[in-house]
Amino acid sequence: MLQIENLHAEIEGSEILKGLGLEVNKGEIHAIMGPNGSGKSTLSNVLMGHPRYEVTDGSITFEGEDVMELEADERAKMGMFLAFQYPSEVPGVSVANFLRTAVNSVREKELSPMEMYRLLQEKMSVMQMDPKFAERYLNEGFSGGEKKRNEILQMLMLDPRLAIMDETDSGLDIDALQVVAKGVNELRGPEFSAVIITHYQRILRYIEPDRVHVMLDGRIVTSGDKELANQLEERGYDWVREEYGSTTQG
């Protein structure tokens, strides 16, 4: 589904990703953990084709296709989805309007207003969201948890083949965490893969990962099963730095 090889990427001249490799098979859910500043959000942005980042080496292949030259909207059309760490406010655009535009832009054929309405009702009920929410301006005045829940609603509406979730669990109360996990588990299946970036093993109790990776200084330095997440929670990252941290750059 997703194959990343020797990925190097920089922003404003500083190299953040330094030879990252990752392979996610169809139907798998992977977790990426790693200390602040190790490049996790950079990776998600680069995967989605954010124009501020420059890829200087390596490759990204999605379903066998090289996506490096594709714009963000083209990647979305292919079925890639990114839930942001800090969703932004879009005053003047309602949730319903935004979702209508987003859904229709990734579909071959537009949904009728009735189909769209039904889809929205269905997905909002999965996310246990008040239907009134759909009329509010996107993220404006939303609480932190509401923003995250709304990102998952968007994901359910778009029905992606690969979801990249950047700290979607941060700042969620226990109920919201379970609702978000339910949203992801709804999509889970042989045709859906996800990369979940998280600082806490907690969400992985609800969404069981097939693989767990540790990112350090722009690279994935070690991988394992969910036991690795428990180990990190217990022991922190110092042992990872000692074992895998490099003093030499490049």
Sites of contact with ligand ATP (CB under 6 A): 11-12, 14, 16, 34, 36-42, 85
- Residue whose CB is less far from ligand ATP, 39 or 79: 39
The minimum distance between CB 60 and ligand ATP, in angstroms, equals: 16
Nearest CA among 128, 133, 130 for reference residue 179: 128
CB 194 within 8 A of CB 27: no
- Residue 41 binds Mg ion, judged by CB under 5 A: yes
Query: Shortest distance, CB of residue 52 to ligand ATP, whole angstroms?
Result: 7
Strand, coil or helix: 40: helix
What is the rounded CA–CA span in Å between residue 201 and residue 232?
8
Please name the residues in contact with 48: beta carbons below 8 A apart, sequence gap of 6 or more: 72, 75, 76, 80, 82, 164
Which residue, 12 or 234, is less far from ligand ATP as judged by CB?
12
Our finding on whether 150 is near Mg ion (CB under 5 A) is no
Q: Which is nearer to ligand ATP, 82 or 99 (CB)?
A: 82
Report the site for Mg ion in 72-101 (rule: CB under 5 A).
Answer: 85
Angle CA(51)–CA(213)–CA(22) in degrees, nearest 5?
A: 50
Which tokens in the block code for residue 57? 């080496």
If binding is defined by CB under 5 A, does position 42 make contact with Mg ion? Answer: no
Q: Quick one: DSSP state of residue 111?
A: P
Residue with Cβ nearer ligand ATP (85 or 230): 85
Could you say which of Mg ion, ligand ATP, none residue 55 binds, taking C-beta under 5 to 8 angstroms by partner kind? none
Which residues of this chain interact with Mg ion, rule CB under 5 A? 40-41, 85
